[in-house]
């Protein structure tokens, strides 16, 4: 009887798929700095990441940080200083630093677990059938994952059967573009009314859009590549076990030979 793996490489059950992944420390820190919580999502720690993302939205809006950034980019430094609510800003800085530090600290620990998991001889589950969903590993084109994410952030993750993270992305994305008035701004821009587009957009929400959009695309690409790798690994392990179990055959270096 096979004992359960100490560090499973992947879990395929319920309504989603999650996996243990090796993450570049600098890339994790970058996403943690771009948007608190994204570094944790990049590591597969979705509950902790969601808490930090909600915190980022709440504190950022209360402290008017995005508004101050817009004023700063426009060279209106006095308006930027006046826009900042210092009471909320000090709270924001503390959590922001912790989120980045947590990405780096936990990322190093998870990378060690990935190396240990790769050395284990474990049978990986690649298919799950339940009354709610069918989850499966398969070879997928990372370019399609990025293309769907470019169309609608979260769609690429749905295609990868990572439904929970896909729902989170879509909810946050819809909330952000509706509150920032991006659709109205696009319509004004299409008819050449750039002044109207500038007037209708809300900068406190608009600056969330680039980070959300780019991270959804990048995470979809990385997830596709890693899940393809895990699929090939699981298939190779299965065929190796099945081939060794065929009666009348003995493995030798370079191939198989009948008795």
Of 258, 253, 212, 250, the closest CA to residue 35 belongs to 212
Kind of pairing, strands 16-19 and 127-129? unpaired
Predicted local distance difference test score (pLDDT) of residue 165 = 86
In this structure, what is the dihedral angle of CA atoms 14, 157, 178, 91, given to the nearest 10 degrees? 80
Helix (H, G, I), strand (E, B) or coil at 242: helix
Predicted local distance difference test score (pLDDT) of residue 21 = 76
Predicted local distance difference test score (pLDDT) of residue 252 = 41
Provide the residue-wise pLDDT of the chain in tens; the chain has 259 residues: 455 667 677 677 766 777 777 788 888 899 999 999 999 888 888 888 899 999 999 998 888 888 888 888 888 888 888 888 888 888 888 889 999 999 888 888 888 887 777 777 667 777 766 666 677 778 889 999 999 999 999 999 988 888 888 888 999 999 999 999 888 888 888 888 888 888 888 888 999 999 999 999 999 999 899 888 888 887 887 787 777 655 555 444 444 444 3
User: Who contacts 61 (Cβ-Cβ below 8 Å, separation ≥6)?
Assistant: 204, 205
Assign residue 96 a region (left: φ > 0; alpha: ψ between -120 and 50; beta: otherwise): alpha
C-alpha distances in Å from residue 1, one per residue of 70, 117, 123? 62, 19, 12
Predicted local distance difference test score (pLDDT) of residue 195 = 86
Task: For residues 129 and 215, give the distance between their C-alpha atoms in angstroms, rounded to a whole number.
Answer: 30
Q: Are 183 and 206 in contact (CB under 8 A)?
A: no
User: Cα angle at 62 between 56 and 65, to 5 degrees?
Assistant: 70
| Six token digits for residue 191 | 């008819």
């Amino acid at each position: 009887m096979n004992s359960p793996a100490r560090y499973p490489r992947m879990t395929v059950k319920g309504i989603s798929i999650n996996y243990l992944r090796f993450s570049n420390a600098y890339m994790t820190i970058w996403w943690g700095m771009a948007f608190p919580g994204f570094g944790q999502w990049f590591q597969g720690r979705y509950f902790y990441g969601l808490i930090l993302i909600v915190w980022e939205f709440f504190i950022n809006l209360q402290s008017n940080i995005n508004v101050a950034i817009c004023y700063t980019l426009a060279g209106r430094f006095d308006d930027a200083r006046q826009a900042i609510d210092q009471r909320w800003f000090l709270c924001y800085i503390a959590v922001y630093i912790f989120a980045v530090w947590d990405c780096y600290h936990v990322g190093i620990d998870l990378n060690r677990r990935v190396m240990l998991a790769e050395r284990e001889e474990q049978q990986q589950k690649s298919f799950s059938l339940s009354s709610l969903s069918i989850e499966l590993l398969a070879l997928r084109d990372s370019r399609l994952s990025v293309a769907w994410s470019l169309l609608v952030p979260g769609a690429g993750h749905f295609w990868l059967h990572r439904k929970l993270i896909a729902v989170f992305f879509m909810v946050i994305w819809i909330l952000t573009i509706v509150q920032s008035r991006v659709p109205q701004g696009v319509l004004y821009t299409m008819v050449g009314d750039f002044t109207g587009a500038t007037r209708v957009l809300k900068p406190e929400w608009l600056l969330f859009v680039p980070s959300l959009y780019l991270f959804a695309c990048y995470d979809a690409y990385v997830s596709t590549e890693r899940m393809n790798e895990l699929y090939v690994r699981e298939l190779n392990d299965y065929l190796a076990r099945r081939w060794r179990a065929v009666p009348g055959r003995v493995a030798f270096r370079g191939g198989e030979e009948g008795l």
